[in-house]
Amino acid sequence: MMVATSIMESVVCSCLCVLVFLGCFISSTESKYIKYNTSSNIVAGKLNVHLVAHTHDDVGWLKTVDQYYVGSNNSIQGACVQNVLDSLVPALLADKNRRFIYVEQAFFQRWWREQSEVVQNIVKQLVNSGQLEFINGGMVMHDEATTHYIDMIDQTTLGHHFIKQEFGKTPRIGWQIDPFGHSAVQAYLLSAQVGFDSLFFARIDYQDRAKRKDEKSLEVVWQASKSLGSSEQIFSGAFPKNYEPPANFYYEVNDDSPIVQDDVNLFDYNVPERVNEFVAAAISQANITRTNHIMWTMGTDFKYQYAHTWFRQLDKFIHYVNQDGRVHALYSTPSIYTDAKHAANEAWPIKTEDYFPYADVENGYWTGYFTSRPAIKGYVRFSSGYYLAARQLEYFKGKSALGPKTDSLADALAIAQHHDAVSGTEKQHVANDYAKRLSIGYTEAEKVVAASLSYLTDAPKAGHQIPQVKFQQCPLLNISYCPASETDFSNGKDLVVVVYNPLGWKSREDVIRIPVVSEYVVVRDSSGKQIQSQLLPILDTFIGLRKYYTAAYLGVSSTVKPKYWLAFSATVPPLGFSTYYVSKAKQAATISDTYTPYKSRNQKDTIEVGPGNLKLIYSEKEAKLIEYINSKSKVKESIDQAYKYYSSYGDDGTQTSQPSGAYIFRPNGSSVPIKSDRKSPLTVFRGPIVHEVHQKISSWIYQITRLYKGKEHAEVEFIVGPIPTDDGVGKEIATEITTSVASSKTFYTDSNGRDFIERIRDYRKDWKLQVNQPVAGNYYPINLGIYLKDKSKELSILVDRSVGGSSIKDGQLELMVHRRLLVDDSRGVGEPLNETVCIHDKCAGLTVLGKYYFKIDPVGDGARWRRSFGQEIYSPFLLAFTESEGNWGDSHVTTFSGINPSYSLPDNVAVITLQDLGDGEVLIRLAHLYEVGEDKYLSAKATVELKKVFHNKQVIKISEMSLSANQERAEMERKRLAWKVKGSTQEPHISRGGPVDPQKLVVELAPMEIRTFIISFKH
Amino acid sequence: MMVATSIMESVVCSCLCVLVFLGCFISSTESKYIKYNTSSNIVAGKLNVHLVAHTHDDVGWLKTVDQYYVGSNNSIQGACVQNVLDSLVPALLADKNRRFIYVEQAFFQRWWREQSEVVQNIVKQLVNSGQLEFINGGMVMHDEATTHYIDMIDQTTLGHHFIKQEFGKTPRIGWQIDPFGHSAVQAYLLSAQVGFDSLFFARIDYQDRAKRKDEKSLEVVWQASKSLGSSEQIFSGAFPKNYEPPANFYYEVNDDSPIVQDDVNLFDYNVPERVNEFVAAAISQANITRTNHIMWTMGTDFKYQYAHTWFRQLDKFIHYVNQDGRVHALYSTPSIYTDAKHAANEAWPIKTEDYFPYADVENGYWTGYFTSRPAIKGYVRFSSGYYLAARQLEYFKGKSALGPKTDSLADALAIAQHHDAVSGTEKQHVANDYAKRLSIGYTEAEKVVAASLSYLTDAPKAGHQIPQVKFQQCPLLNISYCPASETDFSNGKDLVVVVYNPLGWKSREDVIRIPVVSEYVVVRDSSGKQIQSQLLPILDTFIGLRKYYTAAYLGVSSTVKPKYWLAFSATVPPLGFSTYYVSKAKQAATISDTYTPYKSRNQKDTIEVGPGNLKLIYSEKEAKLIEYINSKSKVKESIDQAYKYYSSYGDDGTQTSQPSGAYIFRPNGSSVPIKSDRKSPLTVFRGPIVHEVHQKISSWIYQITRLYKGKEHAEVEFIVGPIPTDDGVGKEIATEITTSVASSKTFYTDSNGRDFIERIRDYRKDWKLQVNQPVAGNYYPINLGIYLKDKSKELSILVDRSVGGSSIKDGQLELMVHRRLLVDDSRGVGEPLNETVCIHDKCAGLTVLGKYYFKIDPVGDGARWRRSFGQEIYSPFLLAFTESEGNWGDSHVTTFSGINPSYSLPDNVAVITLQDLGDGEVLIRLAHLYEVGEDKYLSAKATVELKKVFHNKQVIKISEMSLSANQERAEMERKRLAWKVKGSTQEPHISRGGPVDPQKLVVELAPMEIRTFIISFKH
């Protein structure tokens, strides 16, 4: 073994010298061969220009991720990541002083797999020596507005894990240089809690940037969490302009910046001119920067395709600038830069909250993308929740070495978090690619789930060698397509519905709806007892949607036409499942009462809807919601719920206008109401489980409002589209709820589904806002919800995917649910955001089906619903179907809980990761769901008893890890740099959970804490 | 020493493996790492697709040579040759089967000098193994229309010498892929006689190409020399389309051809599609090609900036196409391809003469560039003659190790032969760069000449340690600017004029003209004897030209205004000099008689001009030449000489028209005569030495016709410009001579100043010409001259630089002397050919001053004048000036001959190279100037006695070399491939000079033979 190692070492060692073209060997005889002096550490007392050689490789945007990687489809964009990485290696070997950072692991991992062992060993040396540093280190540079924090964590973990595994390294720096605004969660969670020492980005509001340049406060200490305060602060730098080099310092193949021509034997010798330009640019930046250190981002999108072209020039600049001596240039990285900043011992300005919304110019608010491509956004969120559940089930069975895995869904989801993926700012063909990847990943994960359920439902007594049951699932249940349930049960078999609950709380009860073809059905629970069910007609709108979309996407034209939704309430243990049976009945099940008011009825008349405490009152004449009454909470509030649209500004195709587009929301004046279609008044379906109010708002907006027996909120399902554009005007569709809550311009939106941040209309905390866009400039990203309040009530809306939203008037909240635009908004994507769905060559505008939920609570009570129900939206019941001839329960396990049956998680804690790592190791993340002061009771410290969570396993080791699980938390805390802040006032006590006693295995969680553990079990 | 070598070898050896990224090491564990099978020799019985990876690096075009090399000015064109060569080395090392050819040594040499010894050793290995092959191997890919054969030889020699010296290699293949038409001299001289086995090019007439594709005769055996016939034939291939890859097979960084996506784990896998496309393209080419071998030129202008991008795809194509097996792909070179063609033992069609003119489309005759940038063309020719003389003088003194050299002039001249340099098809700033380089080179060579003359004139008896005399020269004598002679001699000093004759013939007598400021001058010869002189007034036209151009180019505004040209006849020995003195005289020298006819004179009256046998008769009324009479040869011919212009077609800037431009001559109909300005009738100056007829043809054309006492031809000096374009129309100016010679559509133009080729108006020998451009399509390049004849007379015109010319009517010859055009002709240069000269910001169209010479001879007598006087035009007397206080002759050598004083070269032989190689070696080239049958007497075999040429040296070794002197001729002849030709008829006996007996040292030269020797002398 030693022999092999030493051969390898010698090969690598000679590589390090021999691959060299510009450095290393100095020929004594050749007069023309110049050895540049690039060995330049930081020099005290001089302005140090940190040259950070980097490439920004979008994981999909104008081209798909694969096209970017291999360099195909270059007619759209010349970009090939393979070139970057291939050419980088010899360029770094050529001079040991050269440095490069690489960011997007989705690309790096592909490349790595294709390399020979020799190259891999060379690269390992380069990483070890610090010449190549992984920065950020997630699979992608995730978006910060339209991503859910669980997805952010997962994709970061995936990237960090690989880096740790292959290189033993933990990235030190956050590098979110391109995303369009920056979130609090990114700062305190995805940066501080993964052990980053700093976070850099480029895009902040142009007014904010101007002020910060003026005040030298582009670089700050960012305390983004109210609950965790300074314990999770991070040094953060916004670049002065963008993430590119100063003008005239671009050196990609064929770039036209002046090269340093230092060969006196050729014409155009320009060393003095170039050094002067370098010094001038450095001093200009130094004038807006604290300390003697500035960073130059020497690269941009997909650059370094032939890395040598950059390094050749950078070598020369370092050599000649340092010869000149006015400023000092060096090969650097963000880590070196951060350490230099830290060593300067400066006190930095404080920044709180976030950097949303982002406007790059007066009318350029990047708030459209909060909603762009709502279907993809919905698919990502659906997949995310499914991935969490699938990993739980995978763990319960034990990870399979050969069988299907959740890895491809993990990859697809990771890639979908890219800031041009879920953001909706990619080209259409690229959006299709992300969807395809999710679908492929989902399909494999579906097999994992099916196999796990097959395993878990297999009764030990049955003694099956390999469980035989094949479970089907219905990902298109949202459009009432579920072949598994669309049977008339004439074969006498039962439909077995296994309902899995990915949440850890005490038994969860929720209404399930599945399409059936006949009213002669009966539902029984796992004990065989018949339970209440309700049939709701599947109306033509749904049937049309189902037909069109299954034809378009599955190529299926089903002859079956389901008649009803069969609704019943399922109760499922924590992290477990229950089983329900649907079978043929002699008698029809309960069909909902239908109530369609006459057109001629008295105009004062109202309809009350709601099987439980919550009643919604509709005006019959106006066919609209007018009042919200909760008999239990005593909330009574007049309410209006409506749709409206914004016309895109300047959709005239002229270059001078700034229209709305994939990125930008730029309405042409105020919104236009969309009136209910009087010819189709509302229809109410009533039954024991759910009441539904159907409203055909217009020919292209259909809405169902549902009130469930046991729930105190309203669920609104909307079907919006195709948005008409025959008038040549792009439109953005919003739904709004208006109450009389006196919200004083103030509302709250979540940060990546986690912290709520106070927003004040037409106001920014960090600078005096000049209001140019009174609507677009008040839009914020919403992943969990939005709410407002006054002294007595709070109105909350929760969403099922990322959308943009705002409160444009006091008491009012609005969500943008769909957008269809006809021109490009000039931010690079080069396509109008005009999504269509085609059957053969016939295309129609995309229809979006989604849900949101609203509730009005007495002030102070809203958080509980937002947090707990929010988690339920993220983790719906997972349904699996099979048929059974005999009595399923006789030979199968019908109820299951993955944790101690007597245990459940506290109401303020969720398991956000439970993943089998193989080799008897499991990764678990526990999240406290409440912020400090958010709820009277639940904002308290919580405890989780791991012994009960892993009730049938013996824990032999528990390690608390950083958020991305790539290092022990203690080690991370020890290494992290502490930063001085300017004029910092005393902070309230910050509560954190204490260390976990490996004997007791009780985890404490303070508000907003997420704790990550790797636990080893005895085999 | 052995140790050092073995270390070096081991370093290089490990390089060969370690630089590898795609090949060499096979990892056994990585499943994704693909080793492509690129080891593919020729396969018999299959169609072999020879993939020739190449780059075409113009030595200046849109950017200067230095800008192309370092990659600056990329906004004009993304191109950096450094990138190509830097990236090539690791790409070749990565797989030993990969091959690349490199052509332009002007770039390669620069790069080579900048490399470390380690890299140089690696490259030497690559060259040795054949992976890197130098093709063509001259400094540049010279133009073939506007170049003189001596320049072609010199620039090729410079490149070949370097390759031989550094790599021990002799290029085997001619690769003239871009020049715009192909010359006979290129084929039989610059290809066959440098030892090439084949010659490839891309640009031939579109009608010719169509026919050749049809007949599979793109590949031929080219016998381009009438005199040397099959002894200097060469296998030649015209590419089917251009020198680029088939459509969709381009792989530069960011190119948009589909890559081979062979990673089944990524989307867009396309191996079968790409293999099918490859096979289809190969079969399509095979259908127009003889044998089972086709060549694909895998590259184009400035490609392989990151060589890896091409090789990555080529590897895959070879791998998958050969797996497929329908055709066989391999890394190849033109050498391998040529050997395969040869091995096929095919008989090839014969091609004679040349491939001029070139048209790429119906109205796209590339005959404009024969004249484009006439000033640069003149400067190149001037420099060429000067370079020949300067090397002679350098040799006579002995090459200086430290002092000035002729090398930079050699480099500048070599670069100027590039097909976008002297051709005039470069951008203006690039033309300026070539001129600047020539000027720098000239200035250094001037120092060599001055030092040599100082050495040679230094009398041995004077005993000077270092000769002190500083000689001045007057390169701007053409515009009457010669500070050395512009003295009033009031200081009593003599002006010493040393007159050097670079020709080897018996004493040469020629008239010298220098500007003087006073008429009180006297001229004496070297013996001190006063000789006849004549003063001619320097008219305002010249003074204006002199003033403007010295201000524009030298920044000089001289207060001196010379009054006269002082003309006197000088007689100089072969390869030697004579000395003349000009000094102040009491009496005025002979001032020419001035004769300006009255306007009112009788219209029939004529003026006879000419001091010798030749008389020109002018009509006074018409102010034009009407008759040519030679009393000795008894030639009497009515004659007309005039100017005319062609308007450029479609100068309206529309895209649909094809206007004239730098490349294209596309007249708008027939020419428009330019009438003499009646207000300025002709003026005649008469004296004993020369008669001059001055004609102001128009406000922008001035002409002087000179008849010298001892000469039987007329010299025409024209000053043309600024060409007026106020009417918005570009114009091309031609001068024409019309006689009654019954030339039957037939005329003769030279090939690169050497062989004359018969041209027949509106006719091509190789195909039935469809005439679309009756003027442009009959233009041919002229470097030496053009003539026509009938049964009794021949009319010859000789030129002082490259021009385009034709015979548009029987008996008529025309030369295009200047062009000024207002729009680009869409062949890439992207600028109109609109040359201007500026003082500060004020610019005027360029004025061109040039000369041509005409003579009418009894049929059969013209060749003698064309050949001998043609050589005199190329090698004019070289004048050097100094002042002397006392009697110069007392302390200086006043006459000198570099050869045995009793010897001179035969009239049919010229020394076209005489160059000191250092270390006692000299390179000499002797050229027989006549073709077979061209002259009754002089088309005979000639002999040169080298003992007399090197009369004071002892020859210890003589080696006859290939034309480019990079190998012994015998070795070259032995290696050259012999080709079978189709239906070859019996050839007349070809005469060649026999071997040189090293004792006798007598060189035989058969018609059109050029023989090259390296001779070693005893120290």
User: Which residue, A427, A425, A405, A412, is CA-closest to A379?
Assistant: A412
pLDDT above 90: residue B529: yes
Of the candidates A60, A101, A93, which has an alpha carbon nearest to the alpha carbon of residue A297? A101
At residue B672, does pLDDT exceed 90? Answer: yes
User: Given this model, what pLDDT does residue B29 score?
Assistant: 32
- Helix axes of B117-129 and B149-167: crossing angle, nearest 10 degrees: 100
Q: What is the mean pLDDT of residues A231-236?
A: 96
Distance CA B930, CA B982 (A): 29
Q: What is the mean pLDDT of residues B212-226?
A: 97
Closest alpha carbon to B851 in B835, B874, B868: B874
- pLDDT of A15 > 50? The answer is no
Task: State pLDDT tens for residues A938-991.
Answer: 999 999 999 999 998 999 999 999 999 999 999 999 999 999 999 866 777 888
Segments of chain A assigned to CATH 2.60.40.1180: 374-590+875-897
Q: Return d(Cα B405, Cα B66) in angstroms, integer.
A: 21
- Contact state of B19 with A258 under an 8 Å Cβ cutoff: no
For domain A48-360, the CATH superfamily is Glycoside hydrolase 38, N terminal domain (3.20.110.10)
pLDDT of residue B598: 62
Q: CB contact, 8 Å: B308 with chain A? A: yes
A73 touches chain B (CB under 8 A): yes
The answer, yes or no, to whether residue A652 has pLDDT greater than 60, is: no
> Is A107 an 8 Å CB contact of chain B?
no
Band (B863; pLDDT cuts 50, 70, 90): very high
Lowest-confidence range among A54-63, A459-468, B500-509, B660-669? A459-468
Calculate mean pLDDT across residues A605-623. Answer: 92
Tell if the CB–CB gap between B256 and A73 is shorter than 8 Å. yes
- pLDDT bin (cut points 50, 70, 90) of residue B402 is confident
**Chain-chain contact of A21 with B116 (C-beta, under 8 angstroms):** yes
Integer Cα distance of B787 and B808 in angstroms: 12
Place of tokens 């690129």: B38
Burial (CB count within 10 angstroms: exposed 0-12, middle 13-18, buried 19+), residue B972: buried
Residue type at A643 in one-letter notation: Y
Residues of B in contact with A11 (CB under 8 A): 14, 18
First to last CA, chain A: 30
The answer for A373, left when phi > 0, alpha when psi is -120 to 50, beta otherwise, is left
Phi, psi angles (nearest 5°) of residue B887 = -90, 105
Parts of chain A belonging to CATH 2.60.40.1360: 909-1017
* Band of residue A16 on the pLDDT scale cut at 50, 70, 90: very low
Which of A32, A71, A266 has the CB atom closest to B66's CB atom?
A266
Distance separating alpha carbons of residues A678 and A619, to the nearest angstrom: 13
- For residue B357, whether the previous peptide bond is cis, meaning omega lies within 30 degrees of 0, is yes
Q: Which residues of A touch B33 (CB under 8 A)?
A: 113-116
Q: What whole-number percentage of chain B has pLDDT above 70?
A: 94
Q: Report the C-alpha gap between B387 and B394 in whole angstroms.
A: 10
> Among the residues of B287-402, which ranges form H helices?
308-324, 334-343, 374-397
Per-residue confidence band for A13, with pLDDT thresholds at 50, 70 and 90: very low
CB-based contacts of B318, cutoff 8 Å, min separation 6: B36, B37, B38, B40, B51, B329, B330, B331
> What confidence tens digit (pLDDT) does each residue in B318-339 have?
999 999 999 999 999 999 999 9
Beta carbons within 8 Å of B840's beta carbon, 6+ residues apart: none
- Write out pLDDT tens, residues A479-531: 999 999 998 888 889 999 999 999 999 999 999 999 999 999 999 999 999 99
d(CA A911, CA A948): 13
Q: Which of residues 235-274 of A touch B (CB under 8 A)?
A: 253-256, 258-259, 261, 263, 266-268
* Strand partners of residue B1015: B922, B958
pLDDT for the residue numbered B337: 98
Could you tell me if B342 and B326 are in contact, meaning their C-beta atoms sit under 8 angstroms apart?
Answer: no
The answer on pLDDT for B12 being more than 50 is: no
- Name the nearest CA neighbour of A854 among A1016, A711, A660: A711
CA distance B413 to chain A (A): 16
The distance in angstroms from the start CA to the end CA of chain B is 31
- Assess if CATH 3.40.50.10800 describes domain B593-859: no
Report how many Cβ contacts below 8 Å link chain A to chain B.
181
Across A23-32, B93-102, B117-126, least confident range: A23-32
Q: What pLDDT shows up at residue B602? A: 57
Residue A69 at interface with chain B, using a CB cutoff of 8 Å: yes
Q: Which of B11, B306, B310, B432 should one mutate to test binding to chain A, selecting the residue with the greatest count of A CBs within 10 A?
A: B306
Contacts of A113 in chain B (CB under 8 A): 30, 32-33
In this complex, is the C-beta atom of B383 within 8 Å of any C-beta atom belonging to chain A?
no
Lowest average pLDDT, out of B161-170, B252-261, B551-560, goes to: B551-560
Q: Residue B552's closest CA among B843, B832, B818, B819?
A: B843
Please write the tens of the pLDDT for every residue from A299-327: 999 999 999 999 999 999 999 999 999 99
CA–CA distance, A686 with A703 (Å, rounded to integer): 16
pLDDT at B840 over 80: yes
pLDDT in tens, A323-364: 999 999 999 999 999 999 999 999 999 999 999 999 999 999
pLDDT 10s digits, A871-903: 999 999 999 999 998 899 988 999 999 999 999
Tell me: pLDDT of A22 over 80.
no
Q: Per the CB < 8 Å rule, is A253 touching B33?
A: no
Q: Does position A224 have pLDDT exceeding 80, yes or no?
A: yes
- Distance (Å) from the alpha carbon of A953 to chain B's nearest alpha carbon: 35
Q: Is the pLDDT of residue B363 over 70?
A: yes
B903, B948 Cβ separation under 8 angstroms: yes
Reported as a single tens digit per residue, the pLDDT across B171-196 is 999 999 999 999 999 999 999 999 99
Look at residue B983 and tell me whether its pLDDT is greater than 90: no
pLDDT bucket at A604, cuts 50 / 70 / 90: low
pLDDT digits over A717-773, tens only? 999 999 999 999 999 999 999 999 999 999 999 999 999 999 999 999 999 999 999
CA nearest to B865, candidates B763, B801, B938, B924: B938
Q: How confident is the model at residue B39 (pLDDT cuts 50, 70, 90)?
A: confident
| CB-CB contact of B348 with B220 (8 Å) | yes
What's the fold here for domain B909-1017?
A: Immunoglobulin-like (2.60.40)
Mean pLDDT (chain A, rounded):
93
User: What part of A 555-594 touches B (C-beta under 8 Å)?
Assistant: none
C-beta of residue A900 within 8 angstroms of C-beta of residue A521: no
Report the pLDDT value the prediction gives residue B403, as an integer from 0 to 100: 86
Fold of B374-590+875-897: Immunoglobulin-like (2.60.40)
- Are residues B202 and B177 in contact, defined by beta-carbon separation less than 8 angstroms? yes
Hey, how many other C-beta atoms are within 10 angstroms of the C-beta on A538? 19
Judged by DSSP in three states, B819 sits in: strand
> Does any CB of chain A come closer than 8 Å to the CB of residue B14?
yes
The per-residue pLDDT for B464 is 60
Set of chain A residues whose Cβ sits within 8 Å of the Cβ of B267: 64, 66, 433, 436
Whether the per-residue pLDDT at B279 is higher than 60: the answer is yes
Pairing of strands B198-201, B234-238: parallel
- Distance, CA of A833 to CA of A369 (rounded, Å): 10
Q: What is the mean pLDDT of residues A199-225?
A: 97
Contact B305 A19 (CB under 8 A): no
Look at A119 and B15 and tell me if their CB atoms are within 8 Å.
no
Task: Check pLDDT > 90 for residue A23.
Answer: no
Encoding tokens for residue B23?
A: 């090949």
Q: Is A70 on the interface with B (CB under 8 A)?
A: yes
- Quick check: B309 and A80 CB within 8 A? yes
Residues in chain B with CB shorter than 8 Å from the CB of A18 are 11, 14-15, 18-19, 118
Tokens of B931: 């073709």
Give the H or E element holding residue B444.
Answer: helix B428-457
The torsion angles phi and psi of A269, rounded to 5 degrees, stand at -55, 130
- Per-residue pLDDT band at A595 (split at 50, 70, 90): confident
Could you give the CA distance from residue A471 to residue B437 in angstroms, rounded to a whole number? 81
Phi, psi of B314 (to 5 degrees): -65, -40
Measured from the Cβ of residue B216, the count of other Cβ atoms closer than 10 Å reads: 15
Q: What is the 3-state secondary structure (H, E, C) of B698-757?
A: ECCEEEEEEEECCCCCEEEEEEECCCCCCCCCCEEEEEEEEECCCCCCEEEEEECCCEEE
pLDDT score of B680 more than 70: no
Model confidence at B601, in pLDDT bands (50, 70, 90)?
low
What is the Cα–Cα distance from B690 to B706, expressed in whole angstroms?
7
Please give the Cα distance from A318 to A315 (Å, whole number).
5
d(CA B955, CA B961): 16
A75 Cα to chain B: minimum distance (Å): 5
Minimum-distance CB partner of A18 among B19, B80, B258: B19
**Mean per-residue pLDDT for A701-730?**
96
Asked whether residue A21 carries a pLDDT value surpassing 50, the answer given is no
CB A229 within 8 A of CB A214: no
Q: Which residue of B has its CA nearest to A70?
A: B261
Report ipTM (2 d.p.): 0.91
Touching B: A residues 23-62, CB under 8 Å: 24-27, 29-30, 32-34
pLDDT at A655 over 90: no
pLDDT band per the 50, 70, 90 thresholds, residue B678: low
Does the distance separating the beta carbons of A19 and B19 come in below 8 Å? yes
Residues B118, A67: C-beta atoms closer than 8 Å = no
Q: Which residue of A has its CA nearest to B437?
A: A267
Give me the residue from B116, B254, B266 closest to A78, CB to CB: B254
pLDDT of A898-913, one tens digit each?
A: 999 999 999 999 999 9
* pLDDT confidence bin for B622, thresholds 50/70/90: confident
Which stretches of A568-608 are DSSP H helices?
A: none
A637/B413 Cα distance (integer angstroms): 93
Please name which of B76, B87, B166 lies closest in space to residue B128, comparing C-alpha atoms: B166
* B214 membership: H or E segment, kind and range: helix B206-215
Give the type of residue at B172.
R
Any B CB within 8 A of A18 CB: yes
Distance CA B831, CA B816 (A): 20
CA B514 to chain centre: 29
pLDDT band of residue B462 (cuts 50, 70, 90) is: low
pTM score of the predicted model:
0.93
- CB-based contacts of A933-938 (< 8 A; 24+ apart in sequence): A934/A756, A934/A863, A934/A867, A934/A1007, A935/A860, A935/A863, A935/A864, A935/A867, A935/A908, A936/A860, A938/A863, A938/A864, A938/A867, A938/A907, A938/A908
B73 lies within 8 A of chain A by CB = yes
Beta carbons of A274 and B70 less than 8 angstroms apart? no
Cβ pair B18:A19 closer than 8 A: yes
Model confidence pLDDT, tens digit, residues A397-440? 998 778 899 999 999 999 999 999 999 999 999 999 999 999 99
Return d(Cα B739, Cα B571) in angstroms, integer: 34
A8 touches chain B (CB under 8 A): no
Instruction: Please report, as a single letter, which amino acid is at residue B609.
Output: V
> With an 8 Å Cβ cutoff, is A360 touching chain B?
no
A52-80: pLDDT as tens digits: 999 999 999 999 999 999 999 999 999 99
Residues of chain A with CATH 3.20.110.10: 48-360
Listed residue (B326, B323, B305, B332) closest to B262, CA to CA: B323
Task: State the pLDDT at residue B7.
Answer: 35
B478 secondary structure, DSSP code: G
Structure tokens at B345: 């033992």
